[in-house]
Chains A and B, each alone.
Chain A
Amino acid sequence: MKDAALFNQRIKNIVDTCEHKEPEKVPVGLDYINWPWAMAGTTLEEEVNDPVQCAEKYCTFMNEIDIDFSMNAGNYETFDAFAALGSDKYPLCADRCTTQHNQVGYEFISDEEYQFLIDEFHYFKNEYWPKRNIPVFQKPEEEAYAMLKEAAKCVRNNTIFKELITEIAIRDHSIVPFDSAGASAMAALKARGEFDQGEVDERLIYDDFPGGFFISNLDVLFDSYRGMMGIFEDLIEQPEMITAAIEAMDRDQAEEFKKMPPRPKKPMHALPPATNIYNIECFLSPSQFDEYFFSGIKPKLTALAEQGKKIYLKGEGKIKHLLPFLKELPKESLIIQIDDDDIFEMKKLIGDYHSICCGMDSALYAIGDYQRCIDYVKKSFDELAPGGGFLFYQNKPLFSPSDADPQLVKDVMAFAHEYAVKK
Protein backbone atom coordinates (compact mmCIF):
# COMPACT_ATOMS: atom_id res chain seq x y z
CA MET A 1 0.00 0.00 0.00
CA LYS A 2 1.25 3.49 -0.85
CA ASP A 3 1.00 6.28 1.66
CA ALA A 4 -2.41 7.98 1.70
CA ALA A 5 -0.49 11.24 1.79
CA LEU A 6 0.29 10.85 -1.92
CA PHE A 7 -3.39 10.24 -2.69
CA ASN A 8 -4.33 13.34 -0.69
CA GLN A 9 -1.65 15.45 -2.38
CA ARG A 10 -2.93 14.35 -5.77
CA ILE A 11 -6.45 15.39 -4.78
CA LYS A 12 -5.12 18.73 -3.59
CA ASN A 13 -3.39 19.30 -6.93
CA ILE A 14 -6.60 18.46 -8.81
CA VAL A 15 -8.82 20.65 -6.62
CA ASP A 16 -6.31 23.52 -6.68
CA THR A 17 -6.04 23.53 -10.44
CA CYS A 18 -9.84 23.34 -10.79
CA GLU A 19 -10.00 26.47 -8.62
CA HIS A 20 -7.40 28.14 -10.85
CA LYS A 21 -4.68 28.11 -8.24
CA GLU A 22 -1.46 26.81 -9.76
CA PRO A 23 -0.94 23.42 -8.13
CA GLU A 24 2.38 22.17 -6.80
CA LYS A 25 2.26 19.82 -9.72
CA VAL A 26 -0.14 19.69 -12.67
CA PRO A 27 -2.16 16.46 -12.35
CA VAL A 28 -0.98 13.93 -14.93
CA GLY A 29 -3.51 11.34 -16.04
CA LEU A 30 -3.68 8.49 -18.52
CA ASP A 31 -6.80 7.32 -20.39
CA TYR A 32 -6.11 3.66 -21.02
CA ILE A 33 -9.21 1.36 -21.34
CA ASN A 34 -7.86 -1.83 -23.01
CA TRP A 35 -4.30 -0.64 -23.60
CA PRO A 36 -2.81 -2.09 -20.35
CA TRP A 37 -3.02 -5.57 -21.88
CA ALA A 38 0.00 -4.49 -23.95
CA MET A 39 2.05 -4.79 -20.76
CA ALA A 40 0.25 -7.71 -19.13
CA GLY A 41 1.77 -10.56 -21.16
CA THR A 42 -1.68 -12.05 -21.70
CA THR A 43 -5.07 -11.14 -23.16
CA LEU A 44 -8.48 -10.19 -21.83
CA GLU A 45 -9.93 -13.33 -23.43
CA GLU A 46 -7.42 -15.52 -21.55
CA GLU A 47 -8.19 -13.97 -18.17
CA VAL A 48 -11.82 -12.90 -18.32
CA ASN A 49 -13.29 -15.89 -16.46
CA ASP A 50 -11.20 -15.22 -13.37
CA PRO A 51 -11.87 -11.58 -12.44
CA VAL A 52 -9.34 -11.57 -9.58
CA GLN A 53 -6.45 -12.71 -11.74
CA CYS A 54 -7.75 -10.62 -14.62
CA ALA A 55 -7.56 -7.48 -12.44
CA GLU A 56 -4.08 -8.31 -11.14
CA LYS A 57 -2.70 -8.87 -14.64
CA TYR A 58 -4.43 -5.78 -16.03
CA CYS A 59 -2.90 -3.59 -13.33
CA THR A 60 0.67 -4.79 -13.95
CA PHE A 61 1.45 -1.61 -15.90
CA MET A 62 0.76 0.52 -12.82
CA ASN A 63 4.03 -0.76 -11.38
CA GLU A 64 5.89 0.93 -14.21
CA ILE A 65 3.86 4.03 -15.00
CA ASP A 66 2.96 6.63 -12.42
CA ILE A 67 -0.55 8.07 -12.82
CA ASP A 68 -2.18 10.85 -10.78
CA PHE A 69 -5.76 10.31 -11.98
CA SER A 70 -7.68 8.19 -14.46
CA MET A 71 -11.07 7.87 -16.10
CA ASN A 72 -12.70 4.83 -17.75
CA ALA A 73 -10.13 2.36 -16.44
CA GLY A 74 -10.88 -1.16 -17.62
CA ASN A 75 -14.23 -0.37 -19.17
CA TYR A 76 -14.30 -3.36 -21.48
CA GLU A 77 -17.60 -4.21 -23.08
CA THR A 78 -18.74 -7.67 -22.04
CA PHE A 79 -18.18 -9.53 -25.30
CA ASP A 80 -18.74 -12.80 -23.44
CA ALA A 81 -22.15 -11.73 -22.13
CA PHE A 82 -23.28 -10.69 -25.61
CA ALA A 83 -22.05 -14.02 -26.99
CA ALA A 84 -24.01 -15.85 -24.27
CA LEU A 85 -27.12 -13.93 -25.36
CA GLY A 86 -26.49 -15.05 -28.93
CA SER A 87 -25.72 -11.49 -30.03
CA ASP A 88 -22.94 -10.67 -32.51
CA LYS A 89 -22.98 -6.95 -31.73
CA TYR A 90 -19.85 -6.84 -29.52
CA PRO A 91 -17.24 -9.32 -30.77
CA LEU A 92 -13.62 -9.36 -29.68
CA CYS A 93 -11.05 -7.98 -32.12
CA ALA A 94 -8.15 -10.03 -33.45
CA ASP A 95 -6.00 -8.79 -30.54
CA ARG A 96 -8.37 -10.68 -28.18
CA CYS A 97 -8.40 -7.63 -25.87
CA THR A 98 -10.50 -4.98 -27.59
CA THR A 99 -14.25 -5.23 -28.06
CA GLN A 100 -15.68 -3.71 -31.20
CA HIS A 101 -19.20 -2.41 -31.67
CA ASN A 102 -20.52 -4.21 -34.70
CA GLN A 103 -23.43 -2.30 -36.21
CA VAL A 104 -23.46 -4.20 -39.50
CA GLY A 105 -26.95 -5.55 -39.99
CA TYR A 106 -28.30 -3.50 -37.10
CA GLU A 107 -31.94 -2.71 -37.78
CA PHE A 108 -33.03 0.50 -36.11
CA ILE A 109 -36.70 1.21 -35.45
CA SER A 110 -39.21 1.75 -38.22
CA ASP A 111 -41.73 4.61 -38.17
CA GLU A 112 -44.34 2.18 -36.87
CA GLU A 113 -42.09 1.08 -34.05
CA TYR A 114 -41.24 4.73 -33.29
CA GLN A 115 -44.86 5.42 -32.38
CA PHE A 116 -44.94 2.19 -30.36
CA LEU A 117 -41.85 3.36 -28.42
CA ILE A 118 -43.54 6.70 -27.70
CA ASP A 119 -46.90 5.25 -26.63
CA GLU A 120 -45.71 2.23 -24.66
CA PHE A 121 -42.07 2.88 -23.79
CA HIS A 122 -41.85 0.64 -20.73
CA TYR A 123 -43.20 -2.39 -22.57
CA PHE A 124 -41.24 -1.53 -25.72
CA LYS A 125 -37.92 -1.32 -23.88
CA ASN A 126 -38.32 -4.23 -21.51
CA GLU A 127 -40.24 -6.82 -23.56
CA TYR A 128 -40.57 -5.96 -27.22
CA TRP A 129 -37.06 -4.73 -27.91
CA PRO A 130 -35.21 -7.67 -26.26
CA LYS A 131 -37.43 -10.22 -28.04
CA ARG A 132 -36.96 -8.40 -31.33
CA ASN A 133 -33.16 -8.23 -31.15
CA ILE A 134 -31.66 -10.76 -28.78
CA PRO A 135 -31.55 -14.29 -30.19
CA VAL A 136 -31.75 -15.95 -26.76
CA PHE A 137 -35.29 -14.60 -26.26
CA GLN A 138 -36.48 -16.44 -29.33
CA LYS A 139 -35.78 -19.73 -27.56
CA PRO A 140 -37.90 -21.85 -25.17
CA GLU A 141 -38.00 -20.66 -21.56
CA GLU A 142 -35.54 -23.06 -19.94
CA GLU A 143 -32.96 -22.67 -22.68
CA ALA A 144 -33.37 -18.89 -22.62
CA TYR A 145 -33.02 -18.83 -18.83
CA ALA A 146 -29.83 -20.92 -18.85
CA MET A 147 -28.22 -18.60 -21.42
CA LEU A 148 -29.40 -15.49 -19.59
CA LYS A 149 -27.77 -16.83 -16.42
CA GLU A 150 -24.51 -17.36 -18.29
CA ALA A 151 -24.66 -13.78 -19.55
CA ALA A 152 -25.32 -12.56 -16.01
CA LYS A 153 -22.21 -14.36 -14.73
CA CYS A 154 -20.13 -12.59 -17.40
CA VAL A 155 -21.56 -9.20 -16.43
CA ARG A 156 -20.93 -9.96 -12.75
CA ASN A 157 -17.31 -10.88 -13.52
CA ASN A 158 -16.95 -7.58 -15.33
CA THR A 159 -18.31 -5.73 -12.27
CA ILE A 160 -15.91 -7.54 -9.93
CA PHE A 161 -13.00 -6.83 -12.29
CA LYS A 162 -13.87 -3.14 -12.41
CA GLU A 163 -14.18 -2.98 -8.60
CA LEU A 164 -10.84 -4.73 -8.11
CA ILE A 165 -8.81 -2.67 -10.57
CA THR A 166 -10.19 0.50 -8.99
CA GLU A 167 -9.31 -0.74 -5.51
CA ILE A 168 -5.79 -1.68 -6.66
CA ALA A 169 -5.41 1.75 -8.28
CA ILE A 170 -6.33 3.57 -5.05
CA ARG A 171 -4.78 1.27 -2.45
CA ASP A 172 -1.53 0.26 -4.16
CA HIS A 173 -0.87 3.19 -6.49
CA SER A 174 -2.66 6.21 -4.94
CA ILE A 175 -4.40 6.90 -8.27
CA VAL A 176 -7.43 9.18 -8.00
CA PRO A 177 -10.25 7.60 -10.05
CA PHE A 178 -12.58 10.02 -11.83
CA ASP A 179 -15.31 7.50 -12.51
CA SER A 180 -18.03 6.47 -10.09
CA ALA A 181 -16.32 3.10 -9.48
CA GLY A 182 -13.87 5.11 -7.39
CA ALA A 183 -16.57 5.95 -4.86
CA SER A 184 -17.63 2.35 -4.28
CA ALA A 185 -13.99 1.20 -4.24
CA MET A 186 -13.20 3.80 -1.58
CA ALA A 187 -16.20 2.63 0.49
CA ALA A 188 -15.08 -1.01 0.23
CA LEU A 189 -11.45 -0.21 1.11
CA LYS A 190 -12.50 1.84 4.12
CA ALA A 191 -14.88 -0.90 5.31
CA ARG A 192 -12.09 -3.48 5.15
CA GLY A 193 -9.57 -1.10 6.76
CA GLU A 194 -7.31 -1.24 3.71
CA PHE A 195 -7.21 2.46 2.87
CA ASP A 196 -8.19 5.67 4.57
CA GLN A 197 -7.42 9.25 3.74
CA GLY A 198 -6.98 10.03 7.44
CA GLU A 199 -7.51 13.58 8.67
CA VAL A 200 -7.76 15.85 5.65
CA ASP A 201 -9.12 19.26 4.88
CA GLU A 202 -12.85 19.12 4.04
CA ARG A 203 -12.23 20.15 0.42
CA LEU A 204 -9.94 17.14 -0.16
CA ILE A 205 -12.33 14.40 0.99
CA TYR A 206 -12.93 11.79 -1.70
CA ASP A 207 -16.61 10.79 -1.48
CA ASP A 208 -17.52 7.16 -1.01
CA PHE A 209 -20.78 7.60 -2.93
CA PRO A 210 -21.02 8.41 -6.63
CA GLY A 211 -21.64 11.89 -7.97
CA GLY A 212 -23.84 10.71 -10.82
CA PHE A 213 -23.58 9.82 -14.48
CA PHE A 214 -25.49 11.93 -16.97
CA ILE A 215 -26.20 10.94 -20.54
CA SER A 216 -29.15 12.33 -22.45
CA ASN A 217 -32.14 10.31 -23.56
CA LEU A 218 -31.54 11.80 -26.99
CA ASP A 219 -28.24 9.91 -26.96
CA VAL A 220 -30.00 6.68 -26.00
CA LEU A 221 -32.61 7.22 -28.70
CA PHE A 222 -29.88 7.82 -31.27
CA ASP A 223 -27.50 5.09 -30.16
CA SER A 224 -29.90 2.25 -29.41
CA TYR A 225 -33.12 2.80 -31.28
CA ARG A 226 -33.08 5.31 -34.10
CA GLY A 227 -29.48 5.46 -35.33
CA MET A 228 -27.57 8.46 -36.61
CA MET A 229 -29.27 8.70 -40.02
CA GLY A 230 -32.71 8.31 -38.45
CA ILE A 231 -32.12 10.98 -35.85
CA PHE A 232 -30.76 13.49 -38.34
CA GLU A 233 -33.76 12.94 -40.59
CA ASP A 234 -36.04 13.39 -37.59
CA LEU A 235 -34.35 16.63 -36.57
CA ILE A 236 -35.30 18.09 -39.96
CA GLU A 237 -38.52 16.32 -40.87
CA GLN A 238 -40.26 15.27 -37.66
CA PRO A 239 -38.70 16.91 -34.60
CA GLU A 240 -41.98 16.40 -32.73
CA MET A 241 -41.27 12.64 -32.74
CA ILE A 242 -37.94 13.21 -30.99
CA THR A 243 -39.60 15.40 -28.38
CA ALA A 244 -42.35 12.84 -27.77
CA ALA A 245 -39.85 9.96 -27.53
CA ILE A 246 -37.65 11.83 -25.07
CA GLU A 247 -40.69 12.69 -22.94
CA ALA A 248 -41.77 9.04 -22.91
CA MET A 249 -38.27 7.96 -21.88
CA ASP A 250 -38.08 10.66 -19.20
CA ARG A 251 -41.42 9.52 -17.72
CA ASP A 252 -40.31 5.89 -17.58
CA GLN A 253 -36.97 6.85 -16.04
CA ALA A 254 -38.73 8.91 -13.36
CA GLU A 255 -40.81 5.84 -12.44
CA GLU A 256 -37.68 3.67 -12.29
CA PHE A 257 -35.90 6.22 -10.08
CA LYS A 258 -38.76 6.02 -7.58
CA LYS A 259 -37.89 2.33 -7.06
CA MET A 260 -34.20 3.05 -6.38
CA PRO A 261 -32.82 3.46 -2.85
CA PRO A 262 -32.58 7.17 -1.92
CA ARG A 263 -29.24 8.93 -2.29
CA PRO A 264 -27.31 9.27 0.96
CA LYS A 265 -27.88 12.62 2.64
CA LYS A 266 -24.21 13.41 3.09
CA PRO A 267 -22.27 16.53 2.20
CA MET A 268 -20.75 16.34 -1.26
CA HIS A 269 -17.15 16.98 -2.16
CA ALA A 270 -15.38 17.81 -5.39
CA LEU A 271 -14.23 14.25 -6.16
CA PRO A 272 -14.96 11.85 -7.66
CA PRO A 273 -16.60 14.11 -10.20
CA ALA A 274 -20.04 13.51 -11.63
CA THR A 275 -19.82 12.56 -15.30
CA ASN A 276 -21.57 14.03 -18.30
CA ILE A 277 -20.92 12.51 -21.73
CA TYR A 278 -21.91 14.10 -25.05
CA ASN A 279 -22.26 11.92 -28.13
CA ILE A 280 -24.84 13.21 -30.57
CA GLU A 281 -24.77 16.55 -28.75
CA CYS A 282 -21.49 17.31 -30.57
CA PHE A 283 -23.42 17.33 -33.84
CA LEU A 284 -26.38 19.47 -32.72
CA SER A 285 -26.85 23.16 -33.43
CA PRO A 286 -26.82 25.36 -30.32
CA SER A 287 -30.62 25.72 -30.37
CA GLN A 288 -31.12 21.95 -30.74
CA PHE A 289 -28.62 21.34 -27.95
CA ASP A 290 -30.60 23.64 -25.70
CA GLU A 291 -33.98 22.20 -26.62
CA TYR A 292 -33.17 18.50 -26.48
CA PHE A 293 -30.57 18.42 -23.75
CA PHE A 294 -29.21 21.42 -21.94
CA SER A 295 -32.39 23.05 -20.68
CA GLY A 296 -33.31 19.77 -18.98
CA ILE A 297 -29.91 18.95 -17.52
CA LYS A 298 -28.87 22.43 -16.43
CA PRO A 299 -30.81 22.49 -13.12
CA LYS A 300 -29.43 19.07 -12.12
CA LEU A 301 -25.82 19.95 -12.90
CA THR A 302 -26.18 23.36 -11.27
CA ALA A 303 -27.49 21.78 -8.07
CA LEU A 304 -24.53 19.38 -7.96
CA ALA A 305 -22.02 22.15 -8.66
CA GLU A 306 -23.53 24.34 -5.94
CA GLN A 307 -22.85 21.53 -3.47
CA GLY A 308 -19.18 21.58 -4.48
CA LYS A 309 -19.18 18.59 -6.82
CA LYS A 310 -16.98 18.85 -9.92
CA ILE A 311 -18.45 17.59 -13.18
CA TYR A 312 -16.27 15.80 -15.69
CA LEU A 313 -17.49 16.54 -19.19
CA LYS A 314 -16.43 14.64 -22.25
CA GLY A 315 -17.74 15.42 -25.70
CA GLU A 316 -16.89 12.72 -28.21
CA GLY A 317 -16.20 15.21 -31.00
CA LYS A 318 -16.21 19.01 -31.15
CA ILE A 319 -17.98 21.08 -28.52
CA LYS A 320 -16.63 24.57 -29.15
CA HIS A 321 -20.03 25.76 -30.41
CA LEU A 322 -21.59 24.73 -27.09
CA LEU A 323 -19.27 26.72 -24.84
CA PRO A 324 -21.74 29.57 -24.19
CA PHE A 325 -24.06 27.01 -22.55
CA LEU A 326 -21.28 25.55 -20.45
CA LYS A 327 -20.58 29.02 -19.11
CA GLU A 328 -24.15 29.12 -17.77
CA LEU A 329 -23.10 26.48 -15.22
CA PRO A 330 -21.41 27.64 -12.00
CA LYS A 331 -17.85 28.89 -12.42
CA GLU A 332 -15.10 26.29 -11.96
CA SER A 333 -17.56 23.42 -11.83
CA LEU A 334 -16.50 21.61 -15.03
CA ILE A 335 -13.44 19.57 -15.96
CA ILE A 336 -13.74 19.43 -19.74
CA GLN A 337 -11.84 16.75 -21.62
CA ILE A 338 -11.07 18.26 -25.00
CA ASP A 339 -11.44 15.71 -27.79
CA ASP A 340 -11.44 17.02 -31.38
CA ASP A 341 -11.31 20.77 -30.70
CA ASP A 342 -8.06 22.74 -30.79
CA ILE A 343 -6.88 22.72 -27.18
CA PHE A 344 -5.06 26.05 -27.38
CA GLU A 345 -8.06 27.83 -28.86
CA MET A 346 -10.35 26.21 -26.28
CA LYS A 347 -8.12 27.45 -23.45
CA LYS A 348 -8.44 31.01 -24.78
CA LEU A 349 -12.22 30.69 -25.09
CA ILE A 350 -12.77 29.05 -21.70
CA GLY A 351 -10.27 31.25 -19.88
CA ASP A 352 -10.48 30.78 -16.14
CA TYR A 353 -14.16 29.82 -16.14
CA HIS A 354 -13.74 26.01 -16.16
CA SER A 355 -10.82 23.56 -16.27
CA ILE A 356 -9.61 21.63 -19.27
CA CYS A 357 -8.24 18.15 -19.43
CA CYS A 358 -5.94 17.63 -22.43
CA GLY A 359 -2.32 18.08 -23.50
CA MET A 360 -1.46 14.85 -25.28
CA ASP A 361 -2.81 13.94 -28.70
CA SER A 362 -3.36 10.17 -28.84
CA ALA A 363 -2.57 10.19 -32.56
CA LEU A 364 1.02 11.09 -31.65
CA TYR A 365 1.27 7.87 -29.68
CA ALA A 366 0.22 6.03 -32.84
CA ILE A 367 2.84 7.85 -34.93
CA GLY A 368 5.38 6.79 -32.34
CA ASP A 369 7.93 9.61 -32.59
CA TYR A 370 9.19 10.45 -29.09
CA GLN A 371 10.42 13.94 -29.95
CA ARG A 372 7.13 14.94 -31.59
CA CYS A 373 5.28 13.72 -28.50
CA ILE A 374 7.56 15.65 -26.17
CA ASP A 375 7.38 18.85 -28.25
CA TYR A 376 3.59 18.73 -28.08
CA VAL A 377 3.51 17.95 -24.36
CA LYS A 378 5.94 20.81 -23.64
CA LYS A 379 3.87 23.26 -25.66
CA SER A 380 0.73 22.11 -23.81
CA PHE A 381 2.26 22.69 -20.39
CA ASP A 382 3.83 25.99 -21.41
CA GLU A 383 0.60 27.43 -22.79
CA LEU A 384 -2.10 25.75 -20.71
CA ALA A 385 -0.68 25.34 -17.21
CA PRO A 386 -0.04 28.95 -16.14
CA GLY A 387 -2.81 30.17 -13.85
CA GLY A 388 -4.21 26.68 -13.20
CA GLY A 389 -7.28 25.10 -14.78
CA PHE A 390 -5.26 22.43 -16.59
CA LEU A 391 -5.03 18.67 -16.12
CA PHE A 392 -2.71 16.73 -18.40
CA TYR A 393 -4.53 13.97 -20.27
CA GLN A 394 -5.05 12.58 -23.75
CA ASN A 395 -7.74 13.78 -26.13
CA LYS A 396 -8.85 10.19 -26.76
CA PRO A 397 -8.32 6.99 -24.80
CA LEU A 398 -5.87 4.26 -25.67
CA PHE A 399 -8.46 1.65 -26.61
CA SER A 400 -6.27 -1.21 -27.75
CA PRO A 401 -2.86 -2.65 -26.88
CA SER A 402 -1.57 -1.61 -30.31
CA ASP A 403 -2.55 2.04 -29.85
CA ALA A 404 0.78 2.93 -28.26
CA ASP A 405 4.17 1.39 -27.73
CA PRO A 406 4.57 0.76 -23.96
CA GLN A 407 8.06 2.26 -23.85
CA LEU A 408 6.80 5.43 -25.52
CA VAL A 409 3.97 5.81 -23.01
CA LYS A 410 6.42 5.25 -20.15
CA ASP A 411 8.77 7.89 -21.55
CA VAL A 412 6.08 10.46 -22.29
CA MET A 413 4.45 10.01 -18.87
CA ALA A 414 7.82 10.25 -17.12
CA PHE A 415 8.54 13.48 -18.98
CA ALA A 416 5.08 14.87 -18.20
CA HIS A 417 5.44 14.15 -14.46
CA GLU A 418 8.80 15.92 -14.38
CA TYR A 419 7.64 18.90 -16.43
CA ALA A 420 4.41 19.17 -14.40
CA VAL A 421 6.16 20.26 -11.21
CA LYS A 422 5.76 23.96 -10.48
CA LYS A 423 9.05 25.67 -11.22
Chain B
Amino acid sequence: MKAEYEKLIENVTNDDNKNYSVAELLDRLMKDDSWEPDPMRRMKTIISLKIKFDNA
Protein backbone atom coordinates (compact mmCIF):
# COMPACT_ATOMS: atom_id res chain seq x y z
CA MET B 1 0.00 0.00 0.00
CA LYS B 2 1.37 3.44 -0.92
CA ALA B 3 2.36 5.73 1.95
CA GLU B 4 -0.28 8.33 1.03
CA TYR B 5 -2.98 5.69 1.34
CA GLU B 6 -1.63 4.59 4.72
CA LYS B 7 -2.14 8.20 5.79
CA LEU B 8 -5.76 8.15 4.62
CA ILE B 9 -6.35 4.90 6.50
CA GLU B 10 -4.84 6.42 9.65
CA ASN B 11 -7.42 9.21 9.43
CA VAL B 12 -10.28 6.72 9.82
CA THR B 13 -8.55 4.60 12.47
CA ASN B 14 -8.68 5.16 16.22
CA ASP B 15 -7.85 3.23 19.38
CA ASP B 16 -11.29 1.64 19.36
CA ASN B 17 -11.41 0.32 15.81
CA LYS B 18 -7.75 -0.37 15.05
CA ASN B 19 -7.90 -4.02 16.10
CA TYR B 20 -10.60 -5.33 13.81
CA SER B 21 -11.52 -5.18 10.17
CA VAL B 22 -15.00 -4.81 8.71
CA ALA B 23 -14.45 -8.08 6.82
CA GLU B 24 -13.81 -9.88 10.12
CA LEU B 25 -17.04 -8.55 11.60
CA LEU B 26 -18.97 -9.69 8.54
CA ASP B 27 -17.36 -13.15 8.69
CA ARG B 28 -18.40 -13.42 12.32
CA LEU B 29 -21.93 -12.36 11.38
CA MET B 30 -22.02 -15.07 8.71
CA LYS B 31 -21.06 -17.74 11.27
CA ASP B 32 -23.47 -16.46 13.94
CA ASP B 33 -26.80 -18.29 13.76
CA SER B 34 -28.28 -16.47 16.76
CA TRP B 35 -29.80 -13.74 14.57
CA GLU B 36 -30.81 -15.92 11.62
CA PRO B 37 -30.73 -19.73 11.61
CA ASP B 38 -30.88 -20.18 7.83
CA PRO B 39 -27.35 -19.92 6.35
CA MET B 40 -28.64 -19.05 2.88
CA ARG B 41 -30.70 -16.18 4.25
CA ARG B 42 -27.71 -15.05 6.34
CA MET B 43 -25.56 -14.93 3.23
CA LYS B 44 -28.17 -13.04 1.17
CA THR B 45 -28.74 -10.59 4.01
CA ILE B 46 -25.04 -9.88 4.40
CA ILE B 47 -24.69 -9.24 0.66
CA SER B 48 -27.56 -6.71 0.89
CA LEU B 49 -26.08 -5.16 4.02
CA LYS B 50 -22.70 -4.67 2.31
CA ILE B 51 -24.39 -2.86 -0.58
CA LYS B 52 -25.90 -0.45 1.95
CA PHE B 53 -22.43 0.43 3.21
CA ASP B 54 -21.83 2.30 -0.06
CA ASN B 55 -24.32 5.02 0.82
CA ALA B 56 -24.43 5.00 4.63
Which residues of A are in contact with B by a Cβ distance under 8 Å?
78, 81-82, 85, 87, 89-90, 101, 112-113, 116, 119-120, 123, 125-134, 137-141, 144-145, 148-149, 151-153, 155-156, 158-159, 220, 223-225
How many interface residues does B have (CB within 8 Å)?
A: 36
Q: For the complex, would chain B's binding face be called helix, strand, loop or mixed by DSSP majority? A: helix
A134 touches B8 (CB 8 A): no
Point out the residues of chain B lying under 8 angstroms from A152, CB to CB: 29, 35-36, 45-46, 49
Interchain Cβ contacts under 8 Å between A and B, 12 examples: A81-B49, A87-B56, A89-B55, A101-B55, A123-B1, A127-B22, A128-B8, A130-B56, A144-B17, A148-B49, A151-B49, A152-B46
Nearest residue in B to A138 (C-beta to C-beta)?
Answer: B17
Give A352 to B51 CA distance when docked, in angstroms: 38
Nearest residue in B to A85 (C-beta to C-beta)?
Answer: B56
B8 touches A112 (CB 8 A): yes
Q: How far is the CB of B21 from chain A (nearest CB, A)?
A: 6
Which 5 residue pairs across A and B have the least CB separation, nearest first? A224-B54, A87-B56, A131-B12, A140-B16, A141-B20
Q: Out of A112, A113, A126, A155, name the residue touching B48 (CB < 8 Å).
A: A155
Q: How far is the CB of A99 from chain B (nearest CB, A)?
A: 12
A89 touches B2 (CB 8 A): no
Q: How far is the CB of A109 from chain B (nearest CB, A)?
A: 10
Which residues of B are in contact with A by a Cβ distance under 8 Å?
1-2, 4-5, 8-9, 11-14, 16-17, 19-23, 25-26, 28-29, 32, 35-36, 41, 44-46, 48-50, 52-56
B35 touches A131 (CB 8 A): no
B35 touches A119 (CB 8 A): no
Q: How far is the CB of B34 from chain A (nearest CB, A)?
A: 8
Give A125 to B54 CA distance when docked, in angstroms: 8
Question: Contacts A131-B12, A224-B54: A126 and B35 contacting too (C-beta < 8 A)?
Answer: no
Q: How far is the CB of A284 from chain B (nearest CB, A)?
A: 21
Q: How far is the CB of B47 from chain A (nearest CB, A)?
A: 9
A144 touches B25 (CB 8 A): yes
Q: A82-B56, A127-B23, A152-B36 are in contact. List 13 more A-B contacts (CB 8 A).
A: A81-B49, A82-B52, A113-B8, A116-B5, A131-B13, A138-B12, A138-B14, A149-B29, A155-B45, A156-B41, A158-B48, A159-B44, A159-B48
